[in-house]
Structures are given as C-alpha cells and as structure tokens.
C-alpha cells in the first residue's frame, strides 16, 4: 500500500521566534511575544543567516548568471544597483564558468578556468584580446567584479556569452509571515541557533548557555556535513593558452 502525504511543511519568521522563546522558557504556551521581542528575534535571525552563508556552500543558493560581453572590455561589475553591468544580488563566490557560443545550433559551451587574484595579477598582458578562457571574481561589500582573460575581441563579444555558476546570498527575512530561504531540514537548527543567540538577552546561566550553544553547533555541523554535492571531482593539467604556470 502506497504511503501518501505532503512534504511541504514550512515555518514563518514569527513561528521560529516563538519556538525559540518557548525553548528558553520565556514565553508561555499559547502566549504571544511582545513587539520588541519579535523585533529583537528578527534582528538576531538575520545576523545568524548572514554568518551561516559563509559556512560551506548552501546547495539551494547555487544559481547561474549570464553576462553579456563587450569588445575590448576586461572587467564587469555585478550587484543590485542599476549602474552595474549585471544587475542582480552580489554573488558570494564564483563556483564554475563556461563560455557559450550562441552563433551555432545547438550551442557549444567551452569551460573557463577560474583563477585567483594572485594568478590574475601575474598575467603579463591583461588586455590582450581574443577568445576568453579565464575568469577572476572579486567580491566587495555591495558588489563584485568579474575580470576576464583574454579580453573579448569583436568576434567573442558578438558570438559568445559568459555563464557564471555562483553562490548567491541567503535572502533576508523581515516580515512576520516570511518563509525562510532554507530547506525544511534546516528549521530545527535555526530554532536552536536563535535560542543560543538570545540566551544572554534573557539572563540564562552559564550551564544553560553552554547547552544551547552545544546543541546549536551540533545541528549546524550535521547539516553542513550533509549539504554537499555527491558527484566526483576530477583534476587535470592546466593547458590555458597565453598563461605561464611555471612560477618561481
């Protein structure tokens, strides 16, 4: 007999805050938190999420961006303001990239090499033009820059587009009925992380604080160990054109 049911359970901002306050024994069952308690809890939740997005790669935040290339332009900006070359949330990190030839059918994708700041700095002629083969990404506070090598020539700018697989930020949660930008398996960890964060605000003793911290860290570690990609990784020599790897 087949088992049927739903898998869409979710929680709102206020439900997590209320659950954390009940766990701290500062909210009676059936009681409602004050406006100040909700505001304080919301602030703490957003601080937690901003910190968590730096730990590992949250698989559900991986997305693909398409950057239109311009002839003789080496560096492009990505950010939420309208003045950027690509207007979207600032990527936290660049994971993968490829160059897509859109002048043929079907399209042909060419993998790009992602290089570090040191490797980019050591390039002899950053403005040599040709078909792009390498990408360097630098995140700043509110935007990021993508620098390419080789600098696109007219043929590349006309017939190719650059695809970037990136980790986007976790979305803020500000309204009472907002749902979290987390899969459901993270809800319990959010509750305990909030309990640990708020414990000092409610004068919990050192033993209680240590327990909240320990439980919160255990749940977070279990999830981060689980939230990984399970496909294999392969390594091969770097054969980029125009790039000398024999540093001394």
- Give the C-alpha separation, 8 to 72, whole Å: 49
Q: Within this chain, do residues 81 and 137 fall inside the same structural domain, yes or no?
A: yes
How would residue 4 be classed by pLDDT, with cut points 50, 70 and 90? confident
For the cut 90, the answer to whether the pLDDT of residue 62 exceeds it is yes
pLDDT at 231: 56
- For residues 171-199, average pLDDT: 96
- CA distances (Å), origin 158, targets 1, 133, 155, 163, 239: 58, 16, 5, 15, 25
Residue with tokens 């070359």: 85
Of 179, 173, 138, 211, the C-alpha closest to 41 is 173
Model-wide pTM > 0.75? yes
Beta bridge partners of 139: 144
- 78 and 161 fall within a common domain: yes
pLDDT at residue 46 tops 80: yes
Q: Are residues 162 and 137 in the same domain?
A: yes
What pLDDT score was predicted for residue 227?
A: 77
Instruction: Count structural domains, the chain.
Output: 2
91 in the same domain as 110? yes
181 with 216, same domain: the answer is yes
Residue 246 domain flag: no
What is the band of 135 on the pLDDT scale with cuts at 50, 70, 90? very high
When pLDDT is cut at 50, 70 and 90, the band that residue 243 belongs to is very low
Residue 21 and residue 71 share a domain: no
Would 244 be classed as within a structural domain?
Answer: no
Weakest-pLDDT range from 76-80, 171-175, 196-200, 241-245: 241-245
Decide if 248 is inside a domain.
no
Above 50 in pLDDT, residue 168?
Answer: yes
- Look at residues 122, 151, 167 and tell me which one is the last residue of a structural domain: 167
Residues 175, 121, single domain; the answer is no
Would 241 be classed as within a structural domain? no
Q: Binning pLDDT at 50, 70 and 90, where does residue 124 land?
A: confident
Range 146-161 average pLDDT = 97
**Alpha-carbon distance values, 102 to 69, 112, 133, 163, 183 (Å):** 12, 16, 16, 12, 35
Mean per-residue pLDDT for 92-112?
97
Q: Are residues 69 and 132 in the same domain?
A: yes
Distance of CA 202 to the CA centre of its chain: 32
Split at pLDDT 50, 70, 90, the class of 56 is confident
- Domain encompassing residue 208: 13-56+171-226
């Amino acid at each position: 007999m087949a088992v049927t049911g739903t898998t869409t359970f979710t929680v709102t901002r206020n439900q997590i805050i209320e659950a954390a306050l009940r766990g701290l024994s500062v909210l009676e069952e059936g009681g409602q938190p004050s406006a100040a308690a909700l505001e304080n809890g919301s602030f703490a939740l957003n601080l937690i999420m901003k910190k968590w997005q730096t730990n590992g790669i949250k698989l559900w935040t991986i997305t693909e961006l398409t950057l239109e290339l311009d002839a003789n332009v080496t560096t492009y900006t990505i950010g939420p303001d309208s003045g950027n070359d690509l207007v979207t949330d600032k990527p936290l990190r660049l994971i993968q990239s490829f160059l897509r030839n859109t002048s043929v059918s079907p399209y042909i994708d060419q993998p790009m090499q992602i290089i570090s700041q040191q490797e980019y700095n050591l390039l002899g002629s950053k403005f040599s033009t040709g078909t792009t083969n390498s990408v360097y990404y630098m995140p700043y506070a509110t935007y990021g820059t993508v620098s390419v090598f080789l600098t696109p020539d007219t043929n590349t700018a006309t017939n190719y587009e650059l695809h970037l697989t990136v980790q986007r930020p976790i979305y803020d949660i500000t309204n009472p009925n907002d749902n979290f930008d987390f899969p459901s398996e993270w809800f319990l960890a959010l509750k305990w992380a909030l309990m640990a964060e708020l414990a000092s605000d409610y004068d919990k003793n050192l033993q209680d604080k240590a327990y909240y911290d320990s439980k919160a860290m255990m749940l977070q570690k279990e999830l981060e160990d689980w939230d990984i990609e399970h496909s294999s990784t392969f390594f091969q020599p770097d054969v980029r054109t125009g790039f000398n790897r024999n540093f001394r």
